Structure 1
Amino acid sequence: MKLNTPYRGFTLSYGAFQAYYKSYLLSSSSHTAISWIGTVQGWLLILIGVLSGPLFDLGYFRSMLLIGNFLVVLGIMMLSLSKQYWQVFLSQAVCMGLGAGLLYVPSLALIGIWFDKRRALAMGIVMSGIAVGGVSYILMFNRLVPTVGFPWTIRAMGFVSLTAAALSIPTLLSGSSIVVRPRKARKLFDKTALKDRLFLIYTCSTFFTFIGYIIPYFYIPTYAKDRLGMSESMALYTLVMSVGASFFGRLAAGILGHYLGSIFSWMLCALAGGILSLTWISIETSGTFIAFSVIWGFFSAGLVTLPSAAFAGICPDLSRLGTRLGMSMSVSSVATLIGAPIAGALVTTKSDGRTSYLGVQLWSGIFLLFAATWCCVLWVTAWKFLKAGWRV
């Protein structure tokens, strides 16, 4: 069930690539240009994932599984040969993003088909596996680049992905007789959602969440190196600790959501994330920054897992849940696309030659506080109209 882990891990570990590209491979490119590579990859993963839902319903699971794995491995291998910006963009952003998009939604949909009583537990395990993939790739990157160079490091990652595909494809296909039977494909658009205030407030909440969420993961290594003078290795280990903490954060968010409600827990995580991003401004020592990175990874994990869980509670018709969630995710994917590049444009160089990340920190913190505010509105509105109690 960890089909999506290697590929989502690449998205979560992009901060390692951001730092390396800026220092070496794409040093002539701006922070914004380099950020576009990671955000386009994440955007395509979500957007293609939404569009692939009807294909899954129509019974094309096997084709999507094979094509998706092929595109991801191809993209990784082509990245190892890339030397110019457009080559990196096409291989890492476009090719890998398209392949991962074909795999992501079907891998989650299988959980709903194969699990009933323990579905939430299965979802938590699979989503936590993303952090495992992220940590694994960052450690490989950190250890191998200084010894064998960037091309062979990426090829090694490609072989890991190929191995994961070789192990998962036969396992998943062996039980695919259920999912290859065509079912009624869901619609991509439900116009009645545009008149549903809970849907509109939810979409605003996810948009502001995703526009600020990913930014620290992108800039933790570069901040550690440029501002705090950490070595490249230690800067990457700081990102490893942050991603590793998100593993436990995803599990904790599920428990918190169970007892306090998904929307209320989401609001708390967004508030904590916004405050942490703003406190980042005052951090000037390596030890404090490492502590910040770990705490950030733990609390930010809920910003990924809780929104999907919250949506099921506010959807008036579960037969339209997939369609409406896809519509909301399509809007939110735009936030994923533009958040980090805009933040990168706010990175400036002071008169003394030091790099200032104040714009990055404010961008992430302010938008996460906006997200917490919208979550509060969503919580109050759901409490009022659904009459389901405060734990919604």
Structure 2
Amino acid sequence: MPPTASENVTALNHLDPQNHHELGPLPACNEEDYPDGGREAWLVVLGAWCAMIPSMGLLNTVGVLQAWVSQNQLKEYPEFDIGWIFSVYAFFLYIAGPIFDAHDARFLIVPGSIGIVTAVICLSFCEEYYQFFLAFGVLAGLSASCLFTPAISAIGHWFDKNRALATGIACTAGGIGGIVFPLIILYLAPIIGYGWAIRIVAFICAVTGFLACILLRKRLPHNKKAGASIDLKALKDVNYALTTLAVWLIEFAVFIPYAYISSYAIHQGVLPQHAYRLMALLNTGAIPGRALPGYVADRFGYFNVMLITSFTCATFIFALWLTSGSSEPAITAFAVVFGFWSGAAISLTPVCIGQVCKTEDYGKRSGTAFSISSFGALVGIPIAGAIVQAQGGEYEGLIIFAGAAYMAAFGAFFVARLVAGGRDWRTVF
């Protein structure tokens, strides 16, 4: 069982002074048991990076896809309905954690790679709403989960002191995919057609998925007791429950700007090509925004860094996006800075969960937390779309809603940090 809140406070008195990791109940094995580097460990990071190109890369392309289908194949549908296609993808992304604990990584990686390539090829032929929903929302979402969860969880088997940095480096793949995939759609679709542009994306997914199958592997033995179920009883642990709530709120908030920044720009009169390019610029900011916070968090604390990044994201939403109006430079500036500061929502949330659970339960606990959080991702995008629809196509309410959600996430991380890490804010936690 994970430590109770009182046990965790006691354990804070036994921190390693160099690395500030608990030596008591949290780790599954001693700190020196982790390779924390070396050829094998970094090859696993490379495998995780390859697995995140198709899974997180497609997730970071939803803004372009949503804007494209809204202007073309599904132009007769309201934003609320279209939003469900992409929120379902985010919903399914986080459900495979418990399966990873009980089986070899390839048990998920192989079907996930095949499934996501099949889904993207099907996407290239879609014309009707139900086809987009099944191909991208359901099949691609389920397949992405089989890639994303092993990628995140396997890193926790190989790294301890540098876990956030290693996870952040792997998560840069989502930003790179979020640059390459929109640019393929933006520049190749007018030349070779939308269908063939999407099939090129499928080919990239096939190559990176194959490399992930070869490189990604676990270090710790299978935990057969984990099974393929989520562990709701773990929520009895106050530290874990508060962290799960904070992750739920951050996942609820982060996808709203990703999904609607291109649509917002088009609504404000920005040329469609320039609006689609915003996703590439946003993900350009997200690449250092996922690696750098990991490096800083390993030294100053995962929760401490999440507090800073979530508050900064809320500030930029209110101060820059809300006031940008039809100014293309202001919209572009927001896309870049939000991409950077929002990167921690993807790269640090898994290690925050790992901070309050045993390593051998990492897959199941992270899977449970993200399964719960997936409901936030599921409803966030459609609710934002409903706000746009209720305001007659205006986006002011959506932007305020996104900023308020980020402030709520900041508050939840503040409480989780206070309870799990103690009141001494100088403690690295």
TM-score surpassing 0.5? yes
Identify the residue that residue 92 of structure 2 maps to in structure 1. Answer: 44
1:266 and 2:306 correspond: yes
Q: CA deviation at 1:324?
A: 2.8
Give the SS at the match of 2:94: helix
User: Would the aligned equivalents of 1:383 and 1:389 in 2 still touch at CA under 8 Å?
Assistant: no
One-letter amino acid matched to 2:394: S
1:141 and 2:185 correspond: yes
Distance 1:192 1:221, change over 3 A: closer
1:162 and 2:162 correspond: no
Cα root mean square deviation, aligned: 2.4
Q: Which runs of 5+ in 2 are unaligned?
A: 1-46
Identify the residue that residue 24 of structure 1 maps to in structure 2. Answer: 72
Q: Which runs of 5+ in 1 are unaligned?
A: none
Identify the residue that residue 25 of structure 2 maps to in structure 1. Answer: none
2:236 to 184, 192, 195: 195
User: Would the aligned equivalents of 2:66 and 2:82 in 1 still touch at CA under 8 Å?
Assistant: yes
1:217 and 2:258 correspond: yes
Q: State the identity as a percent.
A: 26
Taking the TM superposition and a 5 Å limit, the aligned residue runs for 1:368-379 are 368-379=406-417
Q: Distance in 2 between matches of 1:189 and 1:268?
A: 30
User: Would the aligned equivalents of 2:54 and 2:144 in 1 still touch at CA under 8 Å?
Assistant: no
Q: How many equivalent residue pairs?
A: 378
Identify the residue that residue 18 of structure 2 maps to in structure 1. Answer: none
Q: CA deviation at 1:111?
A: 3.0
Give the SS at the match of 2:427: coil
Post-superposition CA distance 1:29-76 (Å, at most 9, x none): 1111111111111111112x224324xx333x4343322111111111
1:347 to 373, 388, 397: 388
Which stretch shifts more, 35-44 or 102-111?
Answer: 102-111
Q: CA deviation at 1:138?
A: 0.7
User: Would the aligned equivalents of 1:222 and 1:235 in 2 still touch at CA under 8 Å?
Assistant: yes
Q: Distance in 1 between matches of 2:72 and 2:361?
A: 48
Q: Distance in 2 between matches of 1:186 and 1:65?
A: 18
Q: CA deviation at 1:319?
A: 4.2
One-letter amino acid matched to 1:150: Y
1:357 and 2:395 correspond: yes
Post-superposition CA distance 1:213-234 (Å, at most 9, x none): 111011111111111x111111
TM-score by length of 2: 0.82
Taking the TM superposition and a 5 Å limit, the aligned residue runs for 1:1-392 are 1=47, 2-47=50-95, 49-54=96-101, 57-59=102-104, 61-113=105-157, 119-169=163-213, 171-172=214-215, 183-186=223-226, 188-190=229-231, 192-227=233-268, 229-279=269-319, 280-284=321-325, 285-315=327-357, 317-348=358-389, 355-384=393-422, 389-392=426-429
TM-score by length of 1: 0.89
User: Would the aligned equivalents of 1:58 and 1:185 in 2 still touch at CA under 8 Å?
Assistant: no
One-letter amino acid matched to 2:345: L
One-letter amino acid matched to 1:104: F
User: Would the aligned equivalents of 2:56 and 2:173 in 1 still touch at CA under 8 Å?
Assistant: no
